[in-house]
Homo-oligomer: A and B are copies of this chain.
Amino acid sequence: MKGAVLAIGTELLLGDVVNSNAAVLGKALAAAGVEVVANEALADDLPVLVAAVHRHLADVDVLILCGGLGPTRDDLTREVIAAALDAPLKRDPEIEQRLRDLFAGWGREMPDAVLAQADVPAGAETLDNSAGTAPGVWLEKDGKVVVALPGPPPELRAASTTVWPRLAARTGRVVTTRQVLVHGVGESAVAELVEPGLVLPNGVGMSYLASGGLVRVRFTTTGDPAVLDPLVAHADAALGDAVWGHDSDTVEGVVHDRLFGAGQTVAVAESLTGGALSAALSARPGASTTFRGGMVVYATDLKSSLAGVPGPLLDASGAVAPDTAAALAEGARTRLGATWGLAVTGVAGPDGQEGKPVGTVFLAVAGPTCEVLEARLPGDRDRVRALTVQSALHLLRRHLMSGKV
């Protein structure tokens, strides 16, 4: 069963918004056993969109339309379906009533334009959208399935919950993906380590994904998932300590699970990352069991007054220095009462600092085991900040996995 995703909105072509829905929909379709053959974005242009629906339906069994279900004049998806599939729009009194009730509940007067969201193509089912006003649409015609979902991500999630099980039931074919997650080794070096002696069975796909200093080795099959086990074992053996997780593991998740399992906690003192390291450690549900809190010591004087770096040390070494990083980690550990203190200080740019170039970063962990690292990180301010967060999380992860605890 083949599928295509067509995201609708001139803002996507102009680059005003990032089309994150494309990834969400691709992942959901792949997991439901639908082979996604195209993922396209087109402008709010009725004839262009109608032609695209016809073009895609010539190739695929399932077409997901995303966006363009809102109340404004540039929301065309309902009209596109009506025109492309000869399914004239009819106002649904139940949806109209729900819209009126919603606005009444909010104590707001309902703009008339909102009622367009109660118009449903003939022969279509609507998909409840508990997160917004525009319901989704499921329409079957000539053996093809066309689904229209709202663009705002929370509404897309809400309106699509019933879509994926229905599609999976039709394909009866599930794609299994296994990933080996690597840190500290480049993409081509990973390939050179993994590929000797590796034999891919028929129907097994393999690829490398490199991003943000990490490399993922991915194996996929639509057959027996067990064929992937020896391949993952081969990669694990070939990559050794560079492997930090598998499949959907995140480094925050690995850190959280290790801390939780050991009944330990972490606290942060961070400078150049400005809060992003704490935000990463607090992102997942249950973070409060392992993350105490953090100090964002952006101004140099706060490194002493808030985080407790001795003034003479700070004066002598400066804000960007290994012993300052170590003192920040110790300050986080003691002042915030955690098992581990994790600290970063460095130069995010655009300009150098204390004679040190952009990308100079010192990372420190203080606790049952201690370490200070210097890193030279590539890229601009945003990238240096993002890579610093990842490097700090992996520094703590190594200590939690080292067994020295």
CA distance A312 to B154 in the complex (A): 39
- The complex is assembled from copies of this chain, and their number is 2
Which residues in B have their C-beta under 8 angstroms from that of A72?
Answer: 187-188, 191, 207-208
CA distance A279 to B273 in the complex (A): 7
Say yes or no: is A71 at the interface (Cβ < 8 Å to chain B).
yes
**Is B379 in contact with A154, judged by CB distance below 8 angstroms?**
yes
If A152-B210, A285-B349, A335-B306 touch, whether A16 touches B27 (CB-CB below 8 Å) is yes
CA distance A385 to B378 in the complex (A): 29
CA distance A206 to B386 in the complex (A): 35
How far does the Cβ of A347 sit from chain B's closest Cβ, in whole Å?
11
**Is A293 in contact with B298, judged by CB distance below 8 angstroms?**
yes
**Is A36 in contact with B13, judged by CB distance below 8 angstroms?**
yes
Say yes or no: is A70 at the interface (Cβ < 8 Å to chain B).
yes
The stretch of A17-25, A86-94, A119-127, A396-404 that contacts the partner chain: A17-25
Say yes or no: is A148 at the interface (Cβ < 8 Å to chain B).
no
- Most chain-B CB neighbours within 10 Å: which of A10, A275, A306? A275
**Is B16 in contact with A19, judged by CB distance below 8 angstroms?**
no
Which residues in B have their C-beta under 8 angstroms from that of A40?
Answer: 38-41
Which residues in B have their C-beta under 8 angstroms from that of A153?
Answer: 383
Say yes or no: is A238 at the interface (Cβ < 8 Å to chain B).
no
- 1/0 per residue, CB under 8 A from B, across A29-57: the answer is 01000001111111110001000000000
**Is B295 in contact with A293, judged by CB distance below 8 angstroms?**
yes
The count of residues in chain A whose C-beta lies closer than 8 Å to any C-beta of chain B is: 100
- Most chain-B CB neighbours within 10 Å: which of A10, A13, A113, A210? A13
If A113-B191, A275-B277, A302-B336 touch, whether A18 touches B16 (CB-CB below 8 Å) is no
Which residues in B have their C-beta under 8 angstroms from that of A210?
Answer: 70, 152
If A13-B39, A16-B27, A39-B41 touch, whether A131 touches B378 (CB-CB below 8 Å) is yes
Which residues in B have their C-beta under 8 angstroms from that of A188?
Answer: 70-72, 111, 113-114
Which residues in B have their C-beta under 8 angstroms from that of A299?
Answer: 288, 291-293, 336
Which residues in B have their C-beta under 8 angstroms from that of A39?
Answer: 12-13, 19, 40-42
4 nearest A-B pairs in the assembled complex, by CB-CB distance: A274-B282, A275-B278, A15-B27, A15-B26
Contacts A154-B380, A275-B279, A293-B296 given; 8 further ones with Cβ under 8 A? A13-B38, A15-B25, A16-B27, A16-B218, A17-B23, A70-B208, A273-B279, A305-B337
